[in-house]
Each structure stands twice: as C-alpha cells, then as structure tokens.
A and B are shown apart, each in its own frame.
Chain A
C-alpha cells in the first residue's frame, strides 16, 4: 500500500467490517498487487519460453542481486521524492560512498563493516550538504543536485587518480567475497537452510526497506516528511520543522546511495569511479512504477521493490530470449507500457465495481 501523508483518515470513519473489506479490495487492486501480478505473469511467460530462466545459480541468484542493489537506489530517490524533491546526484553519491569504503579498505586497512559504515557516513554527509544548500539558498533541488553531481564526478575521479594506478580500489577485505557470492543456503538453523537462489546481499536491502518503511509508516519524522512533500506551506504552518525534514530526507537519500554504491562494488568486485553511473534512471523508474508520487507526499517502499523487479525481470527475460541490442530497449519500453496500462485498467475496473 502506498504511504500517504494522511492515509487512514477515510477508512477510520467507516465501520470495522467495511474497513477490512476496503483494505482487502485495495490490496488486491492496488498498484503493488498489480505489479506483483505482472511480474509473476512475466516470470511464467519467460520461464515457459526459456526454461533456463528458472536456473537458480545462473539466472535467479544474479537477478535478485541486481534487484537488491537497484531497490536501494530506488529507495534513495524515494527518500527525496517524499518531500517533492529530486536527487540527480544519486549515482555520484553512490560513487562517493563507495570511494570512501574502498579507501578505507585499501589505504586504511579497515574491516568490511567499518568501511561500510564510513561509506554510509560519507554518503549521508553529501546528502546533508545537498539538503543544507537547498534550505539555506532556496535553490531548486534539481539544480543543486545537478551541480553536486558534476562536483562529485570531478572529486571522485581526482581521488582515484591520486591514490591508485588502476583507477580502482581493488583490495577485498575479509567477508567481501562471501557477501558477494553466498546465498541463504549458507545460512542455516540446524538442518534447515535458506534458498540457494537468494543472495545474502538481499538482506541489506530488506534491512533498508524495513528502515525506510518504518520511517514513513510509523515514525513521526517520516510522516512530517510526507506532509512537507504534500504541502510545504501547510506543513510549516502546522509547526513542522520543514527545513530540518528537507535536510533529513536528503541525508537519508545520501546514506542509501552510499549503501547502493557499496553493494554494487561488492557485486562487481572492486571500487571504481564508474559505480553509480547507471543509477539515475532506475532510481526514478522503481519508485514511480511502484506508486511513489513525483510531486511528494506519497511513497511506496514495497512498490519500489516491485517496480525494480519488473524492469529487471523484463530485461533478463528479453536477454534470454536473445533479443538484440537494437530491439532490447524498444521491447523493454513496450512491455513497461503494457504492464502499467494493465495495472491502471485493473484499478479502474475495480474502482467502478466497488462504487
């Protein structure tokens, strides 16, 4: 369900039985359920056409690993979309976070966890800087993050050039290779182990989703962010410290970008300046497909995961069908359009039937 600035006001006025009925109907016809249905249908279609699509080692595991990273990227964008802002530097913040983590491992010799924490701090610091500039100057987030993107591009390139000969930090601290390649089959409770198709890296995404979900669904700060995104003036007049919420949202965006940068570096094998260069479009695609409003005030954490899953499943499926580069993006666009239209049509039908 999409988290709105004031989601329950309507449902709370109805009797409990009617509320339950409404919730079930909404759950079944909502954007997330629609996306889930489309994803499942596509998985079945691709799996029928190419049975190798179900190969847990060669397809499902790497696919889930990519979905894990890109979902965090989507959450980073979602954090600022909640207040009606944009973060065009999401990829470069990821590169900066990864740079600090890589530096921690190669130059400082820190452990995997300490390097990760420093990378997260670095990402959060850059995000906070973006928020501070926006609130203190009043300049649009589009302009500020675009400028920051260029500045970080130069800085990251400079640091890699200064400290490395290969333009990358290649030292792998203990645990990094395991995090990259281990699945839930390597986590056992007695004789019961998890699925070999699910990468352990996905656990970081689950933690991030839980944290962001809790913030917007349960915490007062998250609700205030959504209200700021819904109507900043009304929020200000209601006593919400909107400037602090704006800085907070950008800080969270930077922190999650740093996490995504770390996850991509772990997946790829080294920390390079190229990390995050392909993050911008998925960062919008996931949240927007999942029901997060570009204008602020409404976010969907699960929807972001579903949106990213949809695009990745389509891409993987088309690749496995041997669709050439020329046609790949055309088919990707067409399937996305059909998928979204289907979701929308289902919602319209459901709304008509319920009324």
Chain B
C-alpha cells in the first residue's frame, strides 16, 4: 500500500512539476492583464493595408437585433477590401463564453473586433485583455457601464435616450395621461437600469398625469417567456392599462401581438423594427416603435476599426461614446424611416472622419 501511495505521489509531483515549469526560466511580470508573459505572444507584424485587417463582429449571443451586423460587415469588407470578416455569436449571453470566443478569434489572427459585451460591468476587463494582446477593439451596440471605456470608442444606441423617446411616444398616444406599463429585459443589467431611469424621467415630467403601474423585467430571454408575461399582465390588469412601452426586443414583439389579439384599447409603443411590429404599426395596433441602427453600428464600426488598425487614424478622445441613432417610427413614417436611418449612417461616417478620428493627410 505504501509503495502504491509513493508511486501515486511521485507521479502527481512529476505532473505538477511538468505543468508548473514547462516554460523553463520565463521572465517575471505579465504586463498587466495579458494573462501571463512570454508564450507565443510575439509582436504582431505592422498592418499597413486594409487587406491585412481581419475584423470580427461579436454580439453577446444569438439575437435577431444583430442579424443586420452580418450583412453590414460583409458590405464593409467588400467596400474596404478587408482581409477577413467574421460574425461570431457563440457567446451565448455568457461573458466567460464570449471571452473564450474573442480569445479564439484573436488566436486566429483577427486583429480588430467590434464587441457587444454581455456584461456591461465586466466588458472593460475583456477590452483591456484584448488591447494588451495588440487587438484594436470597439464597443458596438452597448457601452461599458460606468464612466470609463477601455475600447477605442463606443458606437451604440443611447439606451436611456431611446427609452425616453419611446415613453414620450406612448404618453402622446395615450393623450398625455393614464396608466403605463414598462416591459424590459434583465433587471441586473446596467443597460436595463438606464432604460428604467429613462422611462421614469419622462413619467415624472408629466407631474402625475401618467402613472407607472409596473415595470416587468427579465422577460427578454426568449419570445415564449415574453408572451407568457404579457398574456398574464393583460389577463390580470389589462382593463386598467392605457399604454405599454417596451424597451427590449422580445417583450416588444410579444406585446404587439397580444394587444392586437386582446382588442383592448391599449397604446403600445415597441422597440426595434421586427416585421410583426411594423405590421402592427401599419394596421394601427401598435402606436409606434423606436428603431435602432445596427447597420450603422456594424458598417461605421468596421470602417473606423480598419482606419485604426492600419494606423491611418487615431481616436481623438479614446473611449468616446457616439450615439448610433434611434428613430421614432409611427404610421406617418413607417414607409420612409429606413431612409432616415441610412442618412444617419452617412452622417456617422462623416462624424467619425471629421471629429471622432484624427487621420493623417493622404
């Protein structure tokens, strides 16, 4: 028995020793956040042309909102002559999995990334890690929580402002008074807190004419969850609700369908431009929606990343946040709002060229 134990201990010790000193006499210090020193992290070759730029667009997980990123990224790849472009949604709404995905992409030679961080309070650590490994990073679709942004820039909808616009549209549709319900996403997400603050701010400004009945959170996980929550809400309190404002995708789609089916006189204001919601606006069951600009985020973000990686430009104010735009869409402009959005994308491109980036003279 003792011999056996000795063999076991010996083998374990050998294994641990091999693991611990595999690199031999490596040097002390990992350079802050690099996750260790030495290794295969040789300095990346200087990138001078767009053909050497490989851009990865990384949403937090699969979600219909990000689908335009794919086509916009491909368009940017063609327009700019990039060496590569990929759309990776394997983060599965888990920050650890998203980090694994971005590290894998970096190992595969992607030198620029536009990332929608799963956790706004954690994503700065991810940005710091990637930057320390020579990757140029932009925060797309969502900015990190707090004051600082470790990414080069953030190009995102101002979520609080979008929530304010949606709430104002709902109150206008309700005739300036009544009872409003707010449907939204993950309660412990800082973006949700900003949306809740935006809705509250506009309601407070009515001086009591509008009352917030409830804020239903955590129902953006999938459409089924949202449908059940909206169905329960309308069954229990539908009679006293005058307006619904949704600031997350799945609740917005669920509320649009449920309000139409219930035939209750509820003014519904949604978010994003899912076909269900646009159809609802056309037939009058949805009062309005607030469309965002994912195409602009992906296209302009990829363009700016390319300029930064190739060294043609630098960011004037690193970590700066730029609003990618939000547009109230109602029956009057449902046919034309996309033109307004395309104009915003062009304006964003000019804004980046003129003020956000500092570029060398060609």
Contact = CB atoms under 8 A, between A and B. Distances in A.
Interface of A: 8, 12, 16, 19-20, 23, 50, 52-63, 65-66, 69, 157, 160-161, 165-168, 170, 177, 180-186, 188, 191-199, 264, 267-270, 272-274, 277-278, 315-316, 319-320, 322, 324-325, 328
Closest 8 pairs (CB-CB, A-B): A183-B36, A56-B39, A269-B125, A196-B36, A52-B107, A168-B121, A273-B188, A167-B188
B25 interface: yes
B176 interface: no
B96 interface: yes
A328 B90 contact: yes
Nearest to A156: B188
B8 to A, nearest CB: 9
B351 interface: no
B119 A157 contact: no
Interface of A is mostly: helix
A192 B22 contact: no
B30 A268 contact: no
B96 A267 contact: yes
B43 interface: no
Nearest to A59: B107
A170 B121 CA distance: 7
B289 interface: no
Contact of A191 (B25, B29, B192): B25
A226 to B, nearest CB: 19
B35 A194 contact: no
A57 B104 CA distance: 11
Nearest to B41: A57
Given A57-B39, A183-B35, A186-B30, A272 B146 contact: no
A316 B30 contact: no
Contacts of A52: 104, 107-109
Contacts of B95: 268, 274
A180 B129 CA distance: 11
A57 B35 contact: yes
A167 B35 contact: no
B99 interface: yes
Contacts of A167: 121, 187-190, 192-193
Contact of A270 (B27, B40, B122, B187): B122
Contacts of A198: 19-20, 22, 36
Contacts of B133: 57-58
16 contacts: A12-B1, A57-B36, A57-B40, A58-B106, A61-B35, A167-B192, A168-B145, A181-B35, A181-B36, A183-B36, A185-B23, A198-B22, A268-B96, A278-B96, A319-B100, A325-B90
Contacts of B119: 168, 268, 270, 272, 274
B86 to A, nearest CB: 8
A181 B37 CA distance: 10
B103 A170 contact: no
A185 B23 CA distance: 8
Interface in B94-131: 94-97, 99-101, 103-104, 106-109, 119-126, 129
Interface residues of B, number: 62
Contacts of A191: 25
B224 interface: no
Contacts of B78: none
A320 B100 CA distance: 9
B154 to A, nearest CB: 16
Contacts of A193: 21, 23, 25-28
A339 B135 CA distance: 35
A59 B187 CA distance: 32
Given A168-B122, A268-B119, 17 more contacts: A20-B3, A50-B108, A53-B107, A56-B41, A160-B188, A167-B189, A180-B33, A181-B30, A181-B33, A182-B30, A184-B36, A185-B28, A185-B38, A195-B22, A278-B97, A319-B90, A322-B86
B188 A272 contact: yes
B37 A186 contact: yes
B100 A66 contact: yes
A182 B31 CA distance: 9
A161 B20 contact: no
Given A167-B188, A328-B90, A54 B40 contact: yes
A119 B27 CA distance: 34
Contacts of B239: none
Contact of A196 (B38, B100, B108): B38
Contacts of B48: none
Nearest to B12: A302
Given A66-B100, A185-B30, A194-B20, A325 B41 contact: no
Nearest to B95: A268
Contacts of A57: 34-36, 39-41, 133
Contacts of B120: 166
B37 to A, nearest CB: 5
Contacts of A54: 40
B267 to A, nearest CB: 29
A273 B193 CA distance: 14
B323 interface: no
Contacts of B353: none
A157 B188 CA distance: 7
Contacts of A160: 188
